[in-house]
Amino acid sequence: MRWRVAVALVALGAAVVPALSVAARRGRAASGGVKVTPAGGSGTTRFVVSFRAPDAAGPYGGSERRYSVTASAPQGRGCDSSGAGSVGSARQGQLVHVKLAPGDHWCRGTYQGSVDELMTPLCLPVRVCPQYVAVVRRVGRFTFKVR
């Protein structure tokens, strides 16, 4: 009996270890690779954040998957200390670009940003719909400087 248990555990381990290795590689690939250009600019610069979509964005069962790009810096007077954009449609692995532009002009300083994969309910008009936003994963982080 103990011999059968040992054989079953070895067989299970042979199946689980490769699966965990693939998942770990996927996790590493999805955790970085976010780039912003230019790395620095003036108060009116338009920054472009680029990354590869780990998953397709768009309808997904009863939900909708999208990517949120946000950046912020210490608040100043009469300037924009944050910027945001999103990607609602993309193929898995597609290189996507999100422009961050100030309303008037950026505040001076270093902006810290992130790209997050989000899930929300896919709601049809005239239907009661639950309201939630689930963070699936952080795709990556980025910084840029405004002089």
Q: What is the rounded distance in angstroms from the CA atom of residue 54 to the CA atom of residue 106?
A: 30
CB atoms within 10 A of CB 113: 23
Judge if pTM exceeds 0.85.
no
Tokens (6 digits) for 92: 């898995």
Q: Please give the Cα distance from 16 to 37 (Å, whole number).
A: 40
CATH topology of domain 34-146: Immunoglobulin-like (2.60.40)
pLDDT tens column, 19-75: 333 333 333 333 479 999 999 999 999 999 999 999 999 998 889 999 999 999 999
pLDDT tens column, 67-96: 999 999 999 999 999 999 999 999 999 999
* Residue 99 token pair: 């422009």
- 80 neighbors 31 (Cβ within 8 angstroms): no
The structure tokens listed for 134 are 């689930």
CA distance 43 to 32: 27
Count, residues in the chain: 147
CB 37 within 8 A of CB 50: yes
